[in-house]
């Protein structure tokens, strides 16, 4: 990206790797709706009746319908891609542990914390926790490629 393009899109950009520090946090909260579950099933093709059929789900170990685990985990991507580090970062890896179900109507609070930064490689590691009413439902660790302001300037000077 040339400096003119960089300047033109600067207002859209998130943090650069040089702006990050260990311990920085950001969060996002979303109430899971019926529409969210149906749309996610349509997009993903995951039509498991645990998500869509109350009668089937009532007889399961969950005693009722649950949201897709990946629907809950996608809020990690929401925080990373829109808030911290934000626009411009690229996912390299995601580890996720699903610890408890999320039901329609419940609000998921996703909190992301920068846990490690490698300036030389322009990489950051973020830890994530998704909770419902204070109970952890998903934990994750993400590795991200974060744009470097300094490297961009060096490329432009060359």
Residue ranges of the domains in the chain?
Answer: 3-31+68-157
**Measured between alpha carbons, how far is 67 from 48 in angstroms, rounded to an integer?**
10
Q: Please, are residues 137 and 108 in contact by the beta-carbon 8 Å criterion?
A: yes
pLDDT band, very low/low/confident/very high, at 12 (cuts 50, 70, 90):
confident
**Measured between alpha carbons, how far is 72 from 60 in angstroms, rounded to an integer?**
20
Q: Please say whether the structural domain 3-31+68-157 has been given the CATH code 2.30.130.10.
A: no
Q: What is the pLDDT of residue 3?
A: 57
pLDDT band, very low/low/confident/very high, at 6 (cuts 50, 70, 90):
low
Q: Is this model's pTM higher than 0.85 or not?
A: yes
Strand, helix or coil for residue 23 = coil
pLDDT band, very low/low/confident/very high, at 149 (cuts 50, 70, 90):
confident
Asked whether the predicted pLDDT for residue 96 surpasses 60, the reply is: yes
**Measured between alpha carbons, how far is 110 from 136 in angstroms, rounded to an integer?**
10
Residue of 106, 130, 125, 102 lying closest to 115 (CA atoms) = 125
């Amino acid at each position: 990206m040339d400096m003119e393009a960089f300047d033109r899109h600067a207002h859209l950009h998130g943090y650069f790797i040089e702006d990050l520090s260990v311990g920085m946090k950001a969060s996002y909260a979303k109430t899971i709706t019926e529409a969210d579950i149906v749309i996610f099933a349509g997009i993903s093709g995951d039509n498991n009746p645990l998500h869509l059929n109350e009668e089937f789900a009532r007889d399961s170990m969950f005693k009722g319908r649950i949201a897709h685990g990946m629907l809950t985990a996608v809020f990690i991507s929401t925080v990373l891609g829109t808030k911290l580090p934000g626009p411009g970062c690229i996912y390299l890896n995601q580890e996720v542990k699903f610890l408890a179900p999320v039901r329609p109507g419940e609000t998921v609070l996703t909190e992301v914390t920068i846990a490690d930064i490698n300036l030389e490689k322009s990489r950051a590691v973020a830890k994530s926790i998704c909770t419902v009413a204070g109970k952890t439902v998903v934990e994750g660790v993400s590795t991200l490629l974060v744009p470097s302001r300094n490297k961009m300037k060096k490329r432009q000077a060359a």
